[in-house]
Amino acid sequence: MNYKQQMDIKLKELRSKDTVRILSIESSCDETSVAIVENGRKVLSCVIATQIDIHKRFGGVVPEVASRNHILAIENVTNEALAQACLTFDDIDAIAVTYGAGLLGALLVGVNYAKGLAYALNKPLLAISHIKGHIASNYISHQNLEPPFICLLVSGGHTAILNVKSYTDFELIGSTVDDAVGECFDKVARIMGLSYPGGVNIDRYAKEGEANIDFIHKNILAGTYNFSFSGIKTAVINYVHNKEQKGEEINIPNISASFQNLVVDELTTKTLKAINESGLKKLVVAGGVAANSFLKQRLTSECEKLGVELYMPELKYCTDNGAMIGACAYFEMKNGLECADFNLTANSTVALR
Ligand code: KG4
Ligand code: ZN
């Protein structure tokens, strides 16, 4: 029997084991993270080595620099995750890794490290989608949360509304036709001279500002479940350039508040439309932009009015982390995910369902 055949037998046994501990690796962008998660819900440790300070001076993530820093960090982060959980590799049942979506070189570091570990330790290797991982972060933050629910996925690379029918079965309802919402936050922040990553800075400035600027753009997708953010982004960029050309100062708090207001309005309107249409009474938000305080505030009040339960990840699990990959891996494994073989490679994109 080859490695995969042996490991598929092990996975069958794991499906009926009471306690399953998965060591999970995330390296899709600029965070090297390793976590140990028990039964998909309990985080025994989650170590995150962020490269934000390294990429700040470039104004955004430089893929090659990210890959090199993942290589430098991954072994220490893994050892630290084991140490913090007071466990050794013997206590681990399976290795999980993000294979996509993300930066190819960055993903490859995690994928190859995970393959090496799985082979050396003779443990099953589980290949996990980063996007599904973001959704699963909510199973950690909300111990009783179960599908079905509508999910608003808002990250640096994706924006979508999904019907999450079960832990592993997703239906795509709508998605962005151009920029992802996080990407749009980052670009607008950059044009105003705010440091990377821009989303959190816009969130902060918006609190001091007034949403009093009308960024005129065509709302081409009104009435659909799809999003377009490039029109809003271009309107802000044109506004800032125009002010600069006239030698006028820009009001960062007001621009931030006005931009954020438009984006949050677009996200909220379409998500609530999907909720109403589906008849489901549960809304789950996932991805880095779930950390946005105004989005949280707006969804909280709208969901209250509609009697919809709202679930958002704890702040520390909104952005990239290994724990969400471990949570997702557990439910995928329980529902029949087979062991990845050593042909597993990284993918810069993965299907949303
Ligand atoms: O999910 P994530 O960590 O990475 C991807 O999978 O893409 O999301 C990162 C994105 C960045 O674009 C970042 O600016 C945005 O999440 N973000 C925020 C906030 N915190 C992080 N955007 C708006 N408001 C925030 N508070
Ligand atoms: Zn992410």
- Structure-block tokens of residue 282: 């549960």
The angle subtended at Cα 73 by Cα 71 and Cα 75, nearest 5°, is 90
Query: Would you say residue 38 has pLDDT above 90?
Result: yes
Q: Where are the beta strands (DSSP E) in 66-121?
A: 94-100
Strand order in the sheet with 159-164: 170-175, 159-164, 149-154, 282-286, 309-311
Assign a CATH topology to domain 3-137+318-334: Nucleotidyltransferase; domain 5 (3.30.420)
pLDDT in tens, 128-161: 999 999 999 999 999 999 999 999 999 999 999 9
Locate the domains of the chain by residue range: 3-137+318-334, 148-313
CA of residue 186 to ligand 1 center, whole Å? 8
pLDDT value at residue 126: 98
Q: What percent of the chain has pLDDT over 70?
A: 100
Closest C-alpha to 118, from 134, 137, 95, 135 = 95
Identical fold, 3-137+318-334 and 148-313: yes
* 99 pLDDT above the threshold of 80: yes
Q: pLDDT tens digits for 107-120?
A: 999 999 999 999 99
Residue ID of nearest Cα to ligand 1 atom 12? 182
Please name the residue that has the structure tokens 């065509």: 218
**Mutate-to-test residue for ligand 1 from 151, 183, 204, 319, highest number of ligand atoms within 8 A of CB:** 319
Helix H segments across 129-251?
A: 130-141, 181-191, 198-206, 230-245
Ligand 2 centre distance from Cα of residue 300 (Å)? 23
CA–centroid distance, 133 to ligand 2, in Å, is: 8
pLDDT recorded at residue 353: 67
List the residue whose alpha carbon is closest to atom 2 of ligand 1.
Answer: 288
Question: At 10, phi and psi to the nearest 5?
Answer: -60, -40
* pTM to 2 decimal places: 0.96
Query: Nearest Cα to 267, choosing from 290, 243, 233?
Result: 290
Q: Torsions phi, psi of 302, nearest 5? A: -65, -40
pLDDT tens sequence across 260-302 = 999 999 999 999 999 999 999 999 999 999 999 999 999 999 9
Q: Whose CA is nearest to atom 3 of ligand 1?
A: 319
Q: Which amino acid is at 190?
A: R
Fold for the domain defined by 148-313: Nucleotidyltransferase; domain 5 (3.30.420)
Q: What is the mean pLDDT of residues 156-179?
A: 96
Residues with CB under 6 A from ligand 1: 29, 134, 155-157, 182-183, 185-186, 197-200, 203, 287-289, 291-292, 319-320
